[in-house]
Amino acid sequence: MHNNFAIAIHGGAGTLDPKTINSDQKKAYNDGLKVAIEAGYAVLKKGGNALEAVEIAVISLEDCPLFNAGRGSVFTHDQKVELDASIMDGFTGEAGAVASVSLIKNPVSLAKNIMVNSDHVLLSGVGAMEYAFKHGFKFESESYFHTDFRLEQLLVAKSQNRVTLDHNILIPKPIGTVGAVALDSSGKIAAATSTGGMTNKRFGRLGDTPIIGAGTWADHNCGVSCTGHGEFFIRNVVAYDIACLIKYKGLSIEEACSEVVFNKLAPIGGEGGLIAIDKQGVIHFSFNSVGMYRASYGDKTGLFTGIFRD
């Protein structure tokens, strides 16, 4: 039996200017993070597995309108919501992912179902929706996913004729992608990520979130969930690169994350961050943006939530 167990989550990297965010906003984000991290930690505390813990934590973040996943997702150019998610079991090496689906309340659970009940890893679009319907998934109305500030962001992005991470728009609202990594008491690791993508995206654009190895990775040594400008994370296979640095070069989790986020991504304009956990239960948050919504909870370390670098 493994002695340590811990979980970490993120609600996106980039975030607001610390000079403009007010105390009410800070409290709302921290409360949303706290609810999600405590939900995941409760699974681990009662002896549940890491895979269940990351799913439960991400579901909580998907259900919270503050974060760009599930209910709080940003709008595409056509004022629709397109959702992506992935999950990976570090013990078995199995993974599931879904891309470009709409009206699915919890895409992370659909990704898990694909992993467990199909012969596939990644399903997308209409086919993924058909799969979800056949497996009894809950569909919501378009109004469930409609938030006024996401519409405002879309209108600004359209006026500027650009596709953008929502924290790059000069509107003081929250930013993209959510995720979780966990180590359970038996020493198993899992990771999961979910997102609504980029504001004003077109042509079925996908980021790193549904791509195993780019936005999500878990094995016997570590679990990683990424957030940021997905194109850069795809090109650099970020989540898997961190696992490789740990496995093949013997780097610590902090060294591996710093190498990728600051020495590899930052010089080429790859803004964003990630959360990671190793087989000892060490958690590391790494981001080259202004901030990253994040939280952790370990049996040895207690509860932590944060937004900026302080």
Instruction: State the sign of the Cα–Cα–Cα–Cα dihedral 264, 85, 200, 148.
Output: negative
**CA 204 from centre of chain:** 19
Cα-only R_g, the chain: 17
Structure tokens at 51: 């895979």
Query: Residue 248: which H helix or E strand, with range?
Result: helix 238-249
Residue 310: how many other CB atoms lie within 10 Å:
6
- Tell me, yes or no, if 177 is annotated catalytic: yes
Q: Which position among 76, 164, 177, 209 bears the catalytic label?
A: 177
Classify burial at 239, counting beta carbons within 10 Å of its beta carbon; exposed 0-12, middle 13-18, buried 19 or more: buried
Q: Which tokens in the block code for residue 24?
A: 């009410």
Nearest to 194 by CA among 55, 37, 48, 295: 55
Half-sphere exposure (Cβ direction) of 3: Cα atoms closer than 13 Å = 4
Task: List C-alpha distances in Å: 282 to 6, 8, 286, 296, 297.
Answer: 8, 10, 13, 10, 11
The sign of the torsion formed by the CA atoms of 26, 69, 234, 152 equals negative
- Strands of 95-101's sheet, edge to edge? 122-124, 95-101, 83-89, 189-195, 178-183, 6-13, 292-298, 302-306
Q: Give the phi and the psi of residue 115 in degrees, each rounded to 5.
A: -65, -45
Q: Name the one residue in this structure whose structure tokens are 């989540």.
A: 239
Q: Which residues are annotated as catalytic?
A: 177
